[in-house]
Structure formats: C-alpha cells, structure tokens
Structure 1
Amino acid sequence: MPDPENPLLAASPLPFGLPPFAGLSLEHHREAVEQGMVEQAAEVEAVAASTEPPTVENTLVALERSGELLQRATAVFFHLVGSDGDEALRALAEELSPRLSEHEDSITLDRRLFARVDALHEQLDALGLDEETAELVRATHRDMVQAGAALDDAAQQRLREINAAEARLTSRFQKELLADTRARAVVVEDVAELDGLDPAAVDAAAEAAAARGLDGRWLLTCTNFTNHPALGRLHPRETRRRLFDAQVARGGDGEHDTAPLVLELVALRAERARLLGFPDHASVVTAVATAGSPAAVRARLDPMAATAARKVGEERAALQEEVERHCAETGQPLFELAAWDWAYYTERLRRRRYDLDLAALRPWFEAGRVLREGVFRAAELVYGLTFAERPDLHGHREEVEVFEVRDADGTPLGLYLLDLHRRDTKNGGAWANSLVSQSRLLGTPTVVSNNLNVVAPAPGQPTLLSLDEVTTLFHEFGHALHALLSDVTYPRFSGTRVPRDFVEFPSQVNEMWVLDPRVLPHYARHVETGEPLPDGVVERLSAAETFNQGFATAENLASALLDQEWHGLAAGEQVASVPEFQAAALARIGLDDPVVPPRYSTRYFAHAFAGGYDARYYSYLWSEVLDADTVAWFTEQGGAAPGADPVELRAGGDHFRAELLSRGSSRDPMSSYRAFRGRDPEEGPLLARRGLLPATPTDEPGSAPD
C-alpha cells in the first residue's frame, strides 16, 4: 500500500505546485516513481484497449493527461540527483533509470496505441484542427515511428534491451565522472602555489580543503570542462600544470574509468540506429532536429573549423611572443607555450593590448546584485516581468533562492529558483530544470530552476562572479524565460521542450543584455564602494570581443565534431582505444592541436554520454547562428541600440516573445523563427561576432589597400 505520508503522491499544496522538498526520503522517491509508472500504465492501457474510434480527445489528449504522478515524481527526483545527489540518490537513479526506460518503451512501442495515432495521422488534413493540435498529431506520430513502433516483435524487443542498457550506462557514466572529478581535486600544501588568485578564491580553496578534513591546506576542485577558470590567474606554472593535468585526467584509467562505458554506449546507439533504418546514431538524432542530417551539421561546422584553426595559429604565435616577453622580464628560462599556459598568457596579452584585467573586475559583479539589478532588470525592460522574493518558500537546500514571477499586467507566471554554488554532490556545469511545466490543458504554471557551479566564498564573504559567470547566469536565465513565458496547451510542447539544436538559441540571445548600457550600470557596482566600473572598461571589453575567439571557437568545435565522429559510427564498427579514436578524429577534423584541446574530452564528455546531448553538442554553435542573427534584428529595430527608446525595446521583446518564446514546439521551431525574423537565419552576424569572416585581400598580411 502507498504510504499516505508520502508528500509526492499528491499534488503539491504549495504555491504554483512547488515541490515539497522538506522531509523527502529515498523511499518517498522510490515509491512515487514506482506508483507513477503503475498509474500511467493503467491510463495508457485504457487508451490503447479502447474499442471507440480514435479521436484527438480520446487518444492524444488522453495521452497528454496521463502520467501526472510520474511526471511530478521524476521531475523532483532527477532535479535532486543532479543538484544534490548523494551516493544513495545516485544509486537509486542507476536502479530506476532502466525501469523508466522500459516503462516509456511500453508506451511508445505499443502497436495498439500506434494504430490509433497512425489513423489520426492519416486523416490529419480532414480533421480541421487548430495549429497546435495538428502539430500534436504530427509530433506524436513522428516520435512513435522514431521510437520503433512500426518494427516487428524481435526488433522491438532488442530496442527495449538497448534503451534499458543505455539508461543504466548514462547514469553510471555521470556517477563515475562525478566521483572522479571529486577525487582529482588538486591539494596545495603551500599558499605560495596559489599566487595570482584573489584572497576570496584562496579563502574558498582553504574552506574546500577543510571540508574534506585537510586543515592547513588548500583544495582546487575540478570543473566539468577542460580549461579551469583559475588557469588564467595562477602565476606558478607548476600549479597550472598540475591543475590542467587533473582536469584532463578525469574519467581516465583507474577506479572511475569511463572508457568502457563510452564504448558500450556508442555501440548500443549504433545498433539501435540500424534497427530503426538509419546508418548511424547521428542520423537518428538530426532527423528530428532543425539540422535535418549530419551532412547539414558538417556543412556548417567544417568550414568554421578550418577558419578557427587558422585563427588559433595566429593567436598561438602572439601568445608565444608574450611568453618570450615575460621570460625576458623575469629572467626565467624560455619555454614553449603549453595547454596549461594558454589562458594565463591570454590574460597577460589582453591586459597589455586592451588594458583589461578580467579577474580584477570580479568585485564589480556581486552575485545578488547581478541577479536582481542585471538579470531581472533586463527581463523587466524587455518583457515587462517583475520578480518578488518568496522567503516563505524553499528549494532543495536552504541556500536556494525562490522568486515569484509576474507578467507586466500582474498576472502570476510561476516561480524561479536559483542554486548558485558548487558542491561535491552537484553535477558540473550550469543548467536549467523545469520542476513544473506550463500547460493550459493541465492548468499548470511554471516552476523553473537555474543551477550554476560558482565557487562558494568563505563564510561571511560575498559571492563575486567572473564576467564569464555573469554571462552564464544571463544564459541560464534565458532558458528560464523560455519556460516562464511558455503559453501552450499541451505539456509536450511547453517551454524548452524543443529540438536540442534550437533550445540553446533563446538562452544565447539573453546574453546580449550583459553589457547593455541600460542594464550594466545598475548591476556592475563595486561590492565595497558602490562605484561603477572604471571609465572605458566597457569600450575596451567591446573592442576585445573577437580576442581569443579562434581558441574559443576551436575548443567548442572540437567537442561538437568529436561528438559527431563518435555517433557517426555504424553498427559493428569496432573501436579498440578511446584515446586513439579521439586523436584520429581530431586529426580528421583538423583540430588536433595539443595546445588547444577540446572543451570536453571523450572521457569526461558528460553532455554526449550522460546529458542528452549525444550527437547534439553541435547545437550550441548551430543555435548561435540564430542568436547572432536575432541580436542583429534587435539592433536593426533600434531596441538594442544605446539610448534607444524603452518602448521600442519592449516592442521588440514582445514580438520575440509572441512569435518564438511563448510557442515552445507547438509549431515547427524554424517556422517560429521565420515568423519572428521574416526570413531564414543568416550566418554573417555570427562569423563577424567571432572574427571568423573570410579574409579579404586587404586583410592578408603584407597587403595594402587599393
């Protein structure tokens, strides 16, 4: 019998359906997920076994209404696994994930259900449906076909086995990577080895060490991507090398080796692709994305890779000159630039060339002020939203902040939660989670959480952000806006439930307000004096926009194309060695420079092997084409120009919201883009932003104007 005291078994009584995090136990999660599967199975069985002729209401709408408990339970459970997942929670996730996969297969592979959906799809043109309901028919049919609903019994059985095994392996990959990331933190015995870090960062390293019983020492914890932020500030070259080596060793040989998991995952995904009639997993993924095919991905990214590699060569030469200058000034022996030196000498060159020290700007970016006077202010200016703290409501930890969000007319839209700081129980990186998704059908608002990994300061000290972390906060809030501004009927279309190569687009657009003159002066205030940024800083930041973009583009492209290479393998293709495959793939791509490693190397590439971005990591650069083109639109309309009329800014924001943010995937996302922009996206704005426009004769070294 279900436990009547389990708070997950009933709809949350809290405002907006905020989950009741307090007092949740492991057994509460297990019971709610298991009971949710039982209830949805019964609901779906009633639809599949119906003898009534299929209609949208008795088939598709009934499916949309099914699984309310399961959705509620899994949203809370996996939010906690990612944000605060101790060993017991992660073990339960590893246990439940294959069972949830089997449950989903029991729905999507049900031939009786598919026959009903197929019948509606066949008569779609005659049904006279509104735009969103017609898309519901198309999307449900497409998803069931791609899941294998039309395959024979033997193929379906193998698909079930593959899907369950994949769910188990991805959970294990994340678990092993998190454990290894924690284990490879760099222990520092002498504070002199941290020379270059600001006092707050040194104090945080001491706190991290003390938390692990390493009193009197300092601990540099690893991040999820290759180049640790501290590499740009640490003066001792040996400390930089140790930290870099720890970063790239994650998931490597030893207790938490992820290579066997990678090989098993890519083999299973390739086999599934063959069962579904595709040559490889990348073809399966892109078929339902805006890209359409792996060939389209390569057509856009391969030319960028060649240009980025050329830019990297130029940047590397300039940094080697900086090394030589530094060695001459300090009298240390000359050395060749290595991967762990890139960020450090990039910052030295940036300071010398542009009079910019990014690390020195941190006191102007206090996290609370950035959120309230920056992120929230931009949302008010562009969309008319307001935010009110709700100290009476609580997230999964005491430090999580909760805000009520209202529309310009005062209508409540939902709740926004922020979980800012890094901890050992938290997945790396930054992301957004929808705990409750907007739907007119279900009468649900939005509850969305942003999760970052900012190093917590010493007790009593403010949290200071780097400019990159400020940008990340604006970016993740873009995902939150996509969820909060959703206005759809059916839950499957809500907010960020769009193709992966479209989902990053709205979040990237929101980054445009970081340096906006109507926003920046309000949040960029010195934490102690309240003074604004020094004169000329913003102009110098703008002047340096394309600085180091060869490196930034190359490391992203290397990961995106490496992901495509892994998932371009056909069923039966054998890979003997993960490092050898990666080396050969990067050579084929033309991005095998050891000084510029991929942003994510295979063994710690959680996006591709645990995070739902398998064969989809290209999405960031793909979406940035739309993002840059959208920023150009705002500028053309006058809304993004300095000193523009706020009315024009709101008009632009309202148009973007009406045609794109509110739509989710209730219509084809690229149709939404065309409705917003008036045409297909163009690549020029992105290439200009990254300094990757093709060279003209007058750009070539040694040439002179006509």
Structure 2
Amino acid sequence: MTNPLLQPSTLPFQLPDYATITDADVREALDAGMEEQVTELDEIASSTEPATVANTLEAWERSGATLSRALNAFWVAKSADTNPERDAIMAEFMPKLAHHSDAILLNTALFDRLRALATRHAQGEVDFDDQEAHLLHERLREFKRGGIQLPEEDKSRLREINAELARLSTEFEQRIVAGRNAGSVLVTDPAELDGLSEDDRSAARGLATDAGQEGWLITLVNTTGQPVLPSLRNRTLRERVYKASISRGLGGEHDTRQLVLDTLHLRNERARLLGFEHHAAYVADDGCAKTTENVTAMLTRVAPGVLEITRREAADLEARFLADNPGGTFEAWDWDYYAAQAAAEKAIDAEVLKPYLEFERVLVHGVFAAATKLYGITFHERPELVGYTADARVFEVREESGDTLGAVVIDPFTRPTKQGGAWMTSIVEQSHLLDDAPVVTNTCNFPKPAPGAPSLLTWDNVITLFHEFGHDLHGLLSDVRFPSRSGTATPQDFVEYPSQVNEIWAWDPELLADYAVHHATGEPMPASLREALVANRRQGIGRNTFETTSAMMLDQTWHTTAADELPTSVDEVEAFEVSALQAWGVWFPLVMPRYRTTYFAHIFASGYAASYYSYLWSEVMDADTVAWFKDNGGLDREVGEKFRRGLLAVGGSVPVMEAYEEFRGAAPDVKHLLARIGLE
C-alpha cells in the first residue's frame, strides 16, 4: 500500500488519512521528508542565478512539504493519543529533527544566499513588499540565533546540545504522562466521595473499571490544583489528591528531577555559546519583551499586590475553615473546598452551575456563536471525516459568503494516552503561496462522561474551551502569503494574546443566556445565577493570578541561574524551588505555583522555557483590547471584523507589535490589566 504521507492528502481540507496511516508510514515519511528538504534547500543555496524572492524566499517556503505533512499529522496524534510505538518514534526522531534543523541553520551557503538577496534589495535591484521584507529579516535572524557565525568547534558542540535537549524533552513528557496516570487516587469507600456529583462518581467508577481496579479512580490533571477538590467534603481524601498532585516527579519510576537538571545545564551552555548570559536572555531577545529586565519589571510590578489580595482571600477562607474545624490548621488542600463554599454564598456554587454547562451546548451556542457574531464564520460538522481519535470531530468552517474557510478538529475529553493540559495545533497552515486553507485542532482534557451521560463542565473548563478556540481563530483567520508566518507563528510572548481576548465572550450576558441551559430540563440558567457569575468575575482572582505568576517566577529563576549555582543533586531540587520563590517574595505554601518544577511541562517538554511569563505579558494586550471592544460595541460584527483584519489575519507576517499599535493607535496600556486584577 502506498504511504499516504508521501503525497498531499486527497481528503477534504487535506486532512491526513488517519484511517490508513500507520506508525511505519510516519517513520518512512519523516526520514524521506528530511532528506527531501535538505536536497531542496541545497539547490537554493547552490543556485548560480541572482537571488530573488521567487528562487530564494518562495522556494524555501515550498520546501519540506513531505516533512511538514508528516510532522503535523504525527504531532497531533501522538500528543492526544500516544502508544508505545508513537513514544518510540518521538524518542528516535526528536534528536534527528534537531540535527535536521541544525543542518539548515548552520548551512553557510544558504545563509550567504539570503544575505545576497538582502544586498540586492539594499542596492535597489530587488523590491520587497512588507511580508517579503519581514520574512527575510526573520530568516537571517534565525540563522544568527542558530549559531551560523560560531567557530566550527562550537557549531559541533551546538549540534550535540540540541540533539540531547530534544531527547530530554521527549523523555520528560513521557514521564509526566506516565506519572500523572500512576498518581491517580483509588477510592474504595464510597462515603469518601461525599460531595461529588452522581455523574462524576459514575465517571470515576468507569475509570477504575477500565484500569482493572475495584472502586472509584480520581485521575489527575497536569496543574497543581485538581478539579475535584472544590467538591470533596472528605478532608482526608482532599489531602490524598492534593499530595498526589504535588509529589509527581519527585521520586520513583517517574522521577523527572535529573532530566530537569540536565536540561538546565545544557540550555545554559547553549545560551553562552550563542553570546547570551543565560537561556532566559536568549528567549527574551526573540520575543516582544527583548530583555529579562523587562520581564522582571513586569512580574515584580504585579506580584506584591497579587500576593496581598491572595493573603486576604486566605484569611477569609481560613475563618470559614476554623468555623468547621475549631483549632485546626488550614491547609492548601482545603482552599478550593472553602473557596467553593464562599462562591456558593454568592449563588455561584460549582455543582449548581455544572448542569447548565453541558459541553455540546457551550461549544455550539457559546464558542461557535461568538465567532459567528464577531467574524461571520459558521461551523458545520463533517461526521464522514475521520479524526485522529474516535473522540475527535471535524467541523468545516465557512465564511459569511458561504465559501469554505478551513476546518477545525475538536477533541475535548481526557484519556490516559493524552498529555495533560489543553492546546491548539495546526495540521495545515493557511498560505496564499501554496493555496492552502487552514486546518486547526482544539484539544482539551475535560472529564469524559460515562456512556449515555452528558458532559458537564466546570466554569474553568468553559474558560479553557473559549481560550483554546482563540488560538484556533488565530489559525483559521490567518490571511498571509507564506506558510511559515501563518496564524500563531508569532513571538512566544504574543501568541497567547488572541486566545486570552477570546475568553471574554464566555461572560457575555447574551451568549451566556443562550448556552447556559440545563441539560435535563432545557431551562435556561436563572437570571440571578448568570448575574452573580458575571458580577463576581474577580472571585479568586488573587489566588489564580498568584499561582501563575509564581510559576512564571520559578521559570525565570531556573533559566537565569548560572550553571555553577544550580543544584548538584536531585535531592536539592525542592529546596531550590522554595528558595527561588522566597527570593522573589512569593513563597506562600497555601498556594503553590500552578506547575511545580517536576511536572512543569510548559518549560521542560514544550516551547515555553523561560517564556511562561508570556501569559501575563500577553494579558496586558488582552486587557487593553478588551477595553477597546467595550468602547466600540462589544460582540459586534463590524468591531470583530476590525480585530480580525488588524490583528488575527496578519499572523506573524509583519512585526506583531507594529500591527498591534497600528490597530490600537497606541502601545498597550497596563492600567487595564491592573484594574482587572484589582490593583488600580
């Protein structure tokens, strides 16, 4: 049988033929794709024709089609539904792909070809439009950051470092997935589940059965906080779940500490090879922040005030706890339970909310409806198309005119084979050069309901769905020429901005009235409950902001620390973590960072190393843009079109901050974020 990854897919939207693709096909296509692209780029580099946009920039953008097709198809399936063979492919090919990247960025002839094109432009022999000029600028910068100007001995060492970092990243991801599954808490006494809804109990029973165990299995999500903690009345079980969460990676079969230390040493060495003080400086230089001093200034401006708000929240919750437990000690595993009690007094009881937050209704009448109101696009399920898992559903996306825009694949539910968290990826990048329409994914880890039961969401789940769909919109509404600059191909500290903006529509009163409908009775959420939900948006904002800010500070500390000051033993990792938070003035054991070091996948298995700060950096632009929407009519078609054309459509085809300031008429104003947090 012909390998379906070796040629363009003939399915609608160029969707990979997941029904026939085998793991052997992936291996063959990756090897063939790397070889093919090296040959194509060598032809560009060795051309004797004068360098032009067509024979240099466009030719590069057309190269690597097989590799891109295979990688995009594989990443999606592997992240969402791995197996031992996919893990093995990842482990084998990550170092190979790092070597492939080095073979490109350390290719002197290819670099010289780009410089020749820049020289011809400077001499007036070649004209550029804005997208061409930006692409060439970014390509040249990538070469310099990739080590092209290093001595040969240093280039050789750089190749070794990149290959080893790729291996470590893969192993870290595999260990935290296995560790998360192994950390699941088995409950054998049903009385311990007091407070958990019948639907959640049924789901937990099913998970235990699937795992070959008797009882109820509470699985963990990737964050420190766990979604069952607000509901569990049994304090002992709360403690078990919380401690299972924060102890992941700290020993045993799934220990990640040595991987962390090895990764940090190599990142530090690479940064210094490339002329940067440390890895954080290397990363900041590539973003909107530009320097770690700018990152530090933002974090230290926000953190003290957020800590004070969090302390006030803690005092209120401790008083509630002591009313139930005179003489007791309020602990971190009590926080969510008593926060839920406080919210319930304001008519925001999580268990009362959930029956009104059924996944399908939220998706169609909330997330999709907001996109239609803003951008005129509509969504049409294509059940005949096969996604990368049985849970994945394909939706065709159409313009207001009825023309096809692209497709989005929705994969909402958790499974043991799925990595933690929630994310968007691109299977096909939008590009006018290649005439490709976008295909994006939306992958979450919402609790999977028992067969025949509705999928009921928490409010945090709702926000996550809107957030990830903001990334989807960034990819779907891209309107650029070059595939490498499409959609979310922006600086790391900008990429979260559109997704954060999209969260605001979850709170829109008109939308909320439409999507918040009781799954069993069809009755809309009572107006009093909707109003309470909107009115109390700041409920817990101190703790929520604090736990993410402290994680950002932890990330910065690990990546600004000199190699000789890092822990020399895995036994010192926890102590280093505490001292780092103390140094920032944010050590507060009642609220641990959103991710502790040993399961911080964003920075040790993903692309957020030294840039987890980007969520807060992007939120400055997000809050500023939300103020713009409010001033200009909110959920409105004309307003949405301005945002679409001014920011979402341009992707990374032009300097993003220039695009932002042109759209907004000024640089983002931090006052809107401070007001949102309560730090006016």
Fold conserved between structures, TM > 0.5: yes
Match of 2:137 in 1: 138
The unaligned stretches of length 5 or more in structure 1 are 328-332, 641-648, 694-706
Match of 2:662 in 1: 675
Report the Cα offset of residue 122 of structure 1: 4.1
Q: Could you tell me how far 1:178 is from its partner in structure 2?
A: 0.6
- Please say if 1:69 is aligned against 2:66: yes
**Match in the other structure for 2:257:** 259
* Of 615, 624, 644, the match for 1:657: 644
Shift, 1:518, TM fit: 2.6
Distance 1:249 1:121 in 2: 53
Deviations 1:55-76 (CA, angstroms, capped at 9, x unpaired): 2222221111110000000111
The whole-number CA distance in structure 2 between the counterparts of 1:135 and 1:602 is 36
CA deviations on 1:97-129 (whole Å, 9 max, x unpaired) are 000110111011101111111233345443331
Task: Name 2:384's counterpart in structure 1.
Answer: 392
Correspondence for 2:544:
552
The offset of 1:326, in angstroms, is 2.5
Q: Secondary structure at the match of 1:417?
A: strand
**Selected match of 1:10 from 7, 28, 42:** 7
Please tell me whether the aligned partners of residues 77 and 389 of structure 2 are also in contact (alpha carbons under 8 angstroms): no
What is the alpha-carbon distance in structure 1 between the residues aligned to residue 93 and residue 137 of structure 2? 30
Amino acid across the alignment from 1:334: G
Residue type of the partner of 2:195?
G
Cα deviation for residue 535 of structure 1 reads: 2.4
Match of 1:254, as an amino acid?
Answer: G
Contact conserved, 2:509 with 2:530, CA < 8 A, in 1?
no
Q: Is structure 2 residue 289 aligned with structure 1 residue 302?
A: no
- The residue that corresponds to 1:39 in the other structure is 36
Q: Give the conservation status (yes or no) of the 8 Å contact 1:124–1:134.
A: no
Closer, same or farther in 2 for the Cα pair 1:49/1:249, shift >3 Å?
same
Q: Please point out which of 268, 288, 291 is paired with 1:290.
A: 288
- Structure 1 position 344 matched with structure 2 position 337: yes
Query: What is the correspondence of 1:623-642 to structure 2 with a 5 Å cutoff?
Result: 623-640=618-635
Deviations 1:571-607 (A, max 9, x none): 4443222112111100011111111100000000000
State how far apart, in whole Å, the 2-side matches of 1:60 and 1:278 are. 29
Q: Is the 8 A contact 2:512 2:530 kept in 1?
A: no
**Contact 1:267 1:572 (8 Å CA) reproduced:** no
> Using the alignment, how far apart are the partners of 1:100 and 1:292 within structure 2?
27
The AA in structure 2 aligned to 1:581 is F
Instruction: Tell me which moved more, 56-65 or 102-111.
Output: 56-65
Are 2:528 and 1:530 equivalent residues in the alignment? no
- CA contact 2:513–2:530 (8 Å) conserved in 1: no
Tell me which residue corresponds to 1:84: 81
Conservation of the 8 A alpha-carbon contact between 1:281 and 1:569: no
The answer for the alignment partner of 2:201 in structure 1 is 202
1:266, 1:566 within 8 Å by CA — same for their partners in 2?
yes
- Is 1:274–1:571's contact at 8 Å kept on the other side of the alignment? no
Change (3 A) 1:273 1:124: farther
1:392 to partner: Cα distance: 1.1
Which residue of structure 1 aligns with residue 23 of structure 2? 26
Partners of 1:316 and 1:667 in 2: how far apart?
Answer: 45
1:434 pairs, out of 426, 430, 433, with 426
Partner SS for 1:545: coil
> Aligned equivalents of 2:537 and 2:544: distance in 1?
11
Name 1:221's counterpart in structure 2: 219
Output the amino acid matched with 2:236: E
CA distance in 2, matches of 1:574, 1:525: 52
Residue type at the aligned position of 1:448: V
Which residue matches 1:645? none
Report the residue type matching 1:92 in the other structure. Answer: I
The aligned counterpart of 1:607 is: 602
**What is the one-letter code of the residue matched to 1:431?**
W
Calculate percent identity across the aligned residue pairs: 45
Write the mapping of 1:151-550 to structure 2, written as runs, cut at 5 A: 151-215=150-214, 217-327=215-325, 333-352=326-345, 354-550=346-542
TM-superposed CA distance for 1:31, in Å, is 0.5
- What's the offset of the Cα at 1:51? 2.4
Is 2:169–2:604's contact at 8 Å kept on the other side of the alignment?
yes
Amino acid at match of 1:566: W
Q: Is the 8 A contact 1:387 1:404 kept in 2?
A: yes
Structure 2 Cα separation of the partners of residues 108 and 603 of structure 1: 32
The residue type paired with residue 464 of structure 1 is L
Of 395-404 and 381-390, the range deviating more from structure 2:
395-404
Q: 1:702 corresponds to which residue?
A: none
Cα distance between partner residues in 2 of 1:56 and 1:7: 31
Which has the higher mean CA deviation after the structures are superposed, 681-690 or 204-213? 681-690
| Maintained 8 Å contact 2:322/2:330 | no
- Judge conservation of contact 1:545–1:689 (CA < 8 Å) in 2: no
Aligned partners of 2:194 and 2:232 also within 8 Å: yes
Q: CA RMSD in A?
A: 1.2
SS class of match (1:118): helix
CA distance in 2, matches of 1:600, 1:517: 32
Bigger shift: 84-93 or 50-59?
50-59
Instruction: Return the offset for 1:325.
Output: 2.1
Output the CA distance in 1 between the equivalents of 2:660 and 2:60.
28
8 A Cα contact 1:323 1:334, kept in partner: no
SS of 2:38's partner is helix
Q: Deviations over 1:527-573 (max 9, x none)?
A: 01111111212221222222221111110001011101111123444
Aligned residues of 2:430 and 2:436 also touching (Cα < 8 A): yes
Kept in 2, the 8 Å contact 1:207–1:458? The answer is yes
CA contact (8 A) 2:194 2:233 kept: yes
Q: Secondary structure, in 3 states, of the residue corresponding to 1:214? A: coil
Q: Which residue of 2 aligns with 1:698?
A: none
Q: Secondary structure at the match of 1:660?
A: helix
Unaligned runs of 5+ in 2: none
Amino acid across the alignment from 2:668 = P
Secondary structure of the residue aligned to 1:452 is strand
The answer as to whether partners of 1:84 and 1:426 remain within 8 angstroms in 2 is yes
1:6 is displaced (CA, Å) by 1.2
